[in-house]
């Protein structure tokens, strides 16, 4: 088997998927910074999500066609799915901003989205370094630290949301948005864990 050619095209697809996640996360940060551009930015995020879906489909098709793969088939499937999940969660958050007609800037949402964007950038670096376990481990540790920061920011945001006598509709709206942001960061940590496992197995 080792004398057969290995399909290395998966790495380029993973790079592209990570780039879509980073682009979508940065657009989401801009959306929370400038909600007046809600419709424009939501449409751009949807475009990134559509591209990610197409890339994920290509990974699965390539997996079916390839006789010898550079990574375990299960790992290829899991990594593509996890990366796509990150973009889906970002798109879902943006759609909620649009559905709820968010027009005001909330600093808690800006802060959480910036952490999410940092995580996405880290994932992109880890994908490129997947053959270097020490580098992937270092990046995974950084993403774990970011996830802990996001947990703290999320808890503070929810506490502020329920302080005093809040508007019930505002509580429902922003809690769902914060939940989605926190879930997206958690999914980034899951991607980092998958990459670390892949890197160790293939070093």
Walk along the chain (203 residues) in steps of 10 and give the mean pLDDT of each run.
64 97 98 97 98 97 89 95 98 97 96 98 96 95 98 97 92 97 98 96 82
13: domain range?
Answer: 9-201
pTM of the model: 0.94
User: What's the confidence (pLDDT) of residue 66?
Assistant: 86
Query: 10 Å Cβ neighbour count for 203?
Result: 11
User: What's the confidence (pLDDT) of residue 27?
Assistant: 98
Domain annotation covers residue 4: no
User: What's the confidence (pLDDT) of residue 5?
Assistant: 55
User: What's the confidence (pLDDT) of residue 69?
Assistant: 86
**157, 88 contact by CB (below 8 A):** no
Domain annotation covers residue 3: no
Domain annotation covers residue 28: yes
Domain annotation covers residue 138: yes
User: What's the confidence (pLDDT) of residue 41?
Assistant: 98
Domain annotation covers residue 1: no
Total domains present in the chain: 1
Domain annotation covers residue 130: yes
Domain annotation covers residue 104: yes
- For residue 126, what is the domain's CATH number? 1.20.58.220
């Amino acid at each position: 088997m080792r004398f057969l050619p290995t399909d290395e095209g998966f790495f380029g697809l993973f790079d592209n998927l990570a780039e879509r996640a980073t682009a979508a996360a940065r657009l989401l940060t801009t959306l929370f910074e400038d909600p007046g551009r809600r419709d424009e930015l939501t449409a751009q995020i949807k475009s990134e999500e559509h591209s990610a879906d197409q890339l994920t489909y290509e990974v699965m098709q390539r997996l079916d066609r390839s006789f010898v793969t550079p990574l375990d088939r299960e790992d290829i499937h899991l990594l593509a799915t996890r990366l796509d999940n990150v973009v889906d969660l970002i798109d879902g958050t943006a759609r909620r901003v649009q559905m709820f007609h968010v027009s005001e800037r909330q600093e808690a949402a800006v802060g959480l989205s910036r952490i999410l964007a940092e995580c996405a950038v880290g994932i992109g670096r880890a994908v490129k370094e997947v053959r270097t376990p020490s580098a992937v481990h270092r990046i995974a540790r950084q993403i774990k630290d970011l996830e802990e920061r996001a947990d703290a920011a999320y808890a503070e945001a929810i506490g502020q949301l329920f302080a005093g006598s809040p508007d019930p509709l505002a509580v429902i709206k922003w809690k769902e948005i914060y939940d989605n942001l926190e879930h997206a960061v958690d999914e980034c940590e899951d991607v980092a864990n998958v990459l670390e496992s892949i890197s160790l197995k293939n070093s």
